[in-house]
Copies of this chain bind each other. A is one copy, B any other.
Amino acid sequence: MTFSIIEFFLGRPLPNREARSQTLGVFAGVPAMGLDALGSASYGPEAALTILAAASTAGLGQIGTITLVITVLLAILFLSYWQTIAAYPNNGGSYIVARENLGANFGLLAAAALMVDYLLNVAVGISAGVGALTSAVPILHPYTLWMCLAILALITTVNLRGTRESGLVWALPTYGFVIGLGAILALGLYKAVAAGGRPEAVIAPPQLQPATETLTLWLILRAFASGCTAMTGVEAVSNGVSAFREPRVRHAHATLAAIVAILALLLFGIAHVARAYGIMAMDQTRGDYQSVSSQLVYAVYGSGWLYYAVIACVLAVLCLSANTSFVDFPRLCHLVAQDAYLPRPFAVPGRRLVYSVGILFLAFGSGSLLIVFDGITDRLIPLFAVGAFLAFTLSQSGMAMHWWRAEGRQSAEGLLTWLRRPATMKLAINGIGAVATASALAIILLAKFIEGAWITVLVIPATILLLRSFRRYYDEIDRQTLKASDRPINLSGRQPPVILVPIKRWDRLARKAVEYAMRITPDVRALHYMALEGPDAEDPQLALRHNWRELVEIPAARAGYAPPRLSCITAEFRSLTGPLLRCIEDTRRQHPHRPIEVVVPELVEGRWWGYIMHTHRERRLRARLLRYGGRSLAVTSIPWQLREAEPAEVILAEESSNASSGGNSSGLCRHSAENY
């Protein structure tokens, strides 16, 4: 029953061989990888204009320049990541590039920066979208947090099902946003050109406020720092190359080009139309606040169904830009976990071949952020771009180092030859990228440090420490379990183990366990614990002793075996563990060179509600024996299934129903390649 609920939400389990069919082309790749980058177009220019508003008309005049610089930076990033994708066709995220070229520590720095950024991106994206929705429809305002969490749950479920579905789900709003906003901007540019640069607005934007600051370089730099948020998310494609259909690199290149081109066009269009129509960002605390995109559509087109369609797409894209994190975060965690810097479960694909643990961790982490900040984003945004630009910088530096090393080997050549070689060009591109993103990072840190970037500056090193402690843990395990593992196995002293069988009463479970134990060893000792159910409970001790004599000892003696002994022991604390451990110590002293095996008869209930019907003593006992019983102890469960007619067929049927094609899941043990 529960099983089919999971199946309903997540779909059937996928076999490994279906992994390839799960991948993306360009059309589905743009929404899956580019939502974050494209969504930035709706808040990047607005963030820059918010700063420039202090200088009024003089400020608005600079938006073109700033957008130009941002577009140039974007072009540099585009070239850099183009090279990265070609050089690392197997997931060339910042983590891999930094780790390979700058060393493990820089890799961890990039990983920590990206993790923090992805977590923030989900919370910021969803709450910004919901915030925009609630300012458009104020009646929804009291439900802000609930709507955030509902959207988060929806995105999580879709991603747990796998990337292909999510690509298609997101395609509609993404392409709607691009086409709708693009059409508005094209119309605006046409009108502006037709009117000789001074077009008439259909619905006029509000009057510009008078300047409160003079236009200084510092103001422009701060506006640039804020505007840089328009570039977040560009790295997504290079992180997810392995999610593309073959030929991977070509599809990834095409997707990256499409995303960057669309983004650049949108940024350029917004800047020019805004300047032409005199549109400026407004103070978000004002009652009549309107976003820049809303003002744009009003000015160019006026109100009407297209207005609502474009605004709806803006909202959807903002909310869904969180999805980019859901594609990349689990994949990043998978890579980091494969290097043992994160717990093992992050590395293992779930039933749908996605890294479910990473997805759930991201959902819970960003859900907690949403709850803690009550769905209000203003305090989160200053923390936000630091991680992305830190990762950009590390990735570019890593690529530069990559080309430098490729060069280094042939350094005997002359300078001119060196300059003419193609790798030099690549080194130059990535070097310029590194310097540019590092400068942007420095400006962002300076401009936003007090507003909250300092939190990121604290959290990233803390994350690195945590990652390194995970690695230490696994190194310690390897040290212990691999130590001297190259010695041949020890075949001396092949005496069978001494077996202890705790039994409750004489029934078929007990008989089965004793029979099993007597197959393995002549040294079987049964233990009956009294007073397990408290001081008042009746104990079947007498009947048990009688049965033991009649049904075990006498038949065993007749058949010529040493009769197994039965001891009755009081369990003062109503727990088997303590007294049983004492008996194990005792037995170990008597037989120091033989292993000890505890054989536990166990009733197995298959129906879920059967769980409440039992005390689960055996399960707790097993766990504690494995924990405290020492290394020469083995614990064996002898099951007694309550419902006999439930054999392996259940699982076989379950799997073969999935294996529609290919006979390799029918037939027992057929996989076994060779019996080596």
Interface residues of A, Cβ cutoff 8 Å to B: 13, 15-17, 19-20, 242, 338, 343-345, 347-349, 351, 353, 470, 473-474, 476-477, 480-491, 494-497, 506-509, 511-512, 514-516, 518-520, 531-537, 545, 547-552, 554-556, 559, 561, 565-574, 577-579, 581-586, 589, 595, 597, 599, 602-604, 606, 610, 612-615, 622, 624, 626-631, 633-642, 644, 646-648, 650-652, 654-655, 658-659, 664-665, 668-669, 671-676
Task: Determine whether the beta carbon of A349 is less than 8 Å from that of B637.
Answer: no
Residue contact B673 to A568, C-beta cutoff 8 Å = yes
Which residues from chain B contact A548 at a C-beta distance below 8 Å? 676
Q: 13 A-B residue contacts at CB 8 Å?
A: A348-B532, A474-B613, A481-B603, A485-B506, A485-B511, A489-B551, A491-B561, A494-B519, A578-B655, A579-B669, A581-B648, A584-B648, A599-B634
Q: How far is the CB of A118 from chain B (nearest CB, A)?
A: 20
12 further A-B pairs in the complex, CB-CB below 8 A; given A495-B519, A630-B647:
A345-B615, A482-B507, A485-B508, A545-B676, A569-B671, A569-B673, A572-B665, A573-B658, A582-B648, A586-B668, A606-B627, A627-B641
On chain B, the residues within 8 Å of A644 by CB distance are 631
With A574-B348, A586-B669, A630-B648: A519-B536 Cβ-Cβ less than 8 Å: no
Q: Is the CB of A491 within 8 A of B652?
A: no
Contact of A614 among B344, B597, B659 (CB under 8 A): B344
Residues in B neighbouring A19, C-beta threshold 8 A? 534-536
Shortest CB distance A547–B (Å): 7
The answer to whether B344 touches A15, judged by C-beta atoms less than 8 angstroms apart, is no
Task: Output the least CB separation between A346 and chain B (Å).
Answer: 10
Contact A574 B628 (CB under 8 A): no
| A582 and B676 within 8 A (CB) | no
Selected from B16, B338, B579, the residue in CB contact (under 8 A) with A531 is B16
Contact for A489 among B511, B545, B615, B659, CB less than 8 A: B511
With A533-B349, A642-B480 given, is the CB distance from A489 to B586 under 8 Å?
no
- Give, as a whole number of angstroms, the nearest-CB distance from A230 to chain B: 33
**Beta-carbon contact of A583 and B534 below 8 Å:** no
Which of A533, A569, A655, A672: most chain B CB closer than 10 A? A672
Question: Are B488 and A554 in contact, CB atoms less than 8 angstroms apart?
Answer: yes
**Measured between alpha carbons, how far is A212 from B488 in the docked complex, in Å?**
100
Contact B639 A636 (CB under 8 A): no
In the complex, the answer to whether A559 meets B491 with C-beta atoms within 8 Å is yes
Q: Which residue of B lies closest to A612 (CB)?
A: B343
Q: How far is the CA of A669 from the CA of B581 in the complex (A)?
A: 9
Known contacts A520-B520, A582-B652; is A13 also within 8 Å of B647 by CB? Answer: no
Q: Please state if B491 and A507 are interface contacts (CB–CB under 8 Å).
A: no
Q: Which residues of B contact A569 (CB under 8 A)?
A: 669, 671-673
Are the C-beta atoms of B639 and A629 separated by less than 8 Å?
Answer: yes
Select which of B482, B545, B646 is within 8 A of A628 by beta carbon: B646
Q: A669 to chain B: which residues have CB within 8 Å? A: 567, 569, 579, 582-583, 586
B contact residues around A477 at 8 Å (CB): 603, 642
Bound Cα distance A353, B550 (Å): 36
**Chain B residues within 8 Å of A20, by CB:** 535
Alpha-carbon distance between A658 and B572 when the two chains are bound, in angstroms: 11
In the complex the two chains form, is A675's CB within 8 Å of B552's CB? no
Q: How far is the CA of A258 from the CA of B582 in the complex (A)?
A: 49
Who on chain B is nearest to A658 by CB?
B573
A634→B652 CA distance, assembly (Å): 20
Contact call A629/B613, Cβ cutoff below 8 A: no
Contact indicator B634/A516 (Cβ below 8 Å): yes
> Are the CB atoms of A613 and B343 closer together than 8 Å?
yes
A585 to B15, CA, bound (A): 22
- Chain B residues with CB under 8 Å of A595's CB are 516, 519
Complexed CA–CA distance, A674 and B548 (Å): 14
Q: What's the Cα separation between A518 and B668 when bound, in Å?
A: 25
Residues of B within 8 A of A573 (CB): 13, 15-16, 351, 655, 658
Q: B491 contacts A675, CB within 8 Å?
A: no
Per the bound structure, the CA–CA distance linking A577 and B85 in Å amounts to 38
Do residues A509 and B533 form an inter-chain contact, with CB atoms below 8 A?
no
Could you tell me the distance in whole angstroms from the C-beta of A425 to the nearest C-beta in chain B? Answer: 32
Q: Which of B518, B624, B639 contacts A494 (CB 8 A)?
A: B518
Residues on B with beta carbons closer than 8 Å to the beta carbon of A348: 532-534, 574, 615
- Nearest 7 A/B pairs, CB to CB: A349-B534, A15-B572, A581-B648, A488-B555, A586-B668, A567-B672, A626-B639
Residues of B within 8 A of A665 (CB): 572, 578
Cα–Cα, bound, A474→B344 (Å)? 41
Q: Give Cα A569 to B630, complex, Å.
A: 32
Query: Which listed residue, B519, B534, B637, touches A622 by the CB 8 Å rule?
Result: B637
Is the pair A509, B497 in contact by a Cβ cutoff of 8 Å?
no
Smallest Cβ-Cβ distance to A532: which chain B residue: B348
Q: Are A572 and B16 within 8 A (Cβ)?
A: yes
How far, in angstroms, from A348 to B577 measured CA to CA in the complex?
16
CA distance A349 to B550 in the complex (A): 33
| Complex Cα spacing A226 to B646, Å | 56
Asked whether, in the complex, the Cβ of A509 is within 8 Å of the Cβ of B534, the reply is no
Contact of A552 with B489 in the complex, beta carbons under 8 Å:
yes
- B483, B488, B509, B630: the one contacting A550 at CB < 8 Å is B488
**Cα(A555)–Cα(B565), bound, Å:** 37
Known: A494-B519, A573-B13. A651 touches B672 (CB 8 A): no
A350 to chain B, nearest CB (A): 8
Which residues of B sit under 8 angstroms from A628, Cβ to Cβ? 646-648, 650-651
Q: In the complex, which of the residues B579, B581, B672 contacts A568, with contact meaning CB atoms closer than 8 Å? A: B672
Is there an interface contact between B630 and A604, defined as CB atoms closer than 8 Å? no
Q: Quick check: B636 and A631 within 8 Å, CB to CB?
A: no
Which residue, of A520, A556, A569, has the highest number of chain B Cβ atoms within 10 A? A520
A20 to chain B, nearest CB (A): 8
Interface core residue of A550, A614, A615 (most chain B CB under 10 Å)? A615
Interface contact B676-A537, CB-CB below 8 Å: no
Q: Which residues of B contact A655 (CB under 8 A)?
A: 572-573, 578
Residues of B within 8 A of A647 (CB): 628, 630
Do A551 and B597 form a contact, CB below 8 Å, given A627-B646, A676-B545?
Answer: no
- A508's partner among B483, B514, B589, B634 (CB-CB below 8 A) is B483
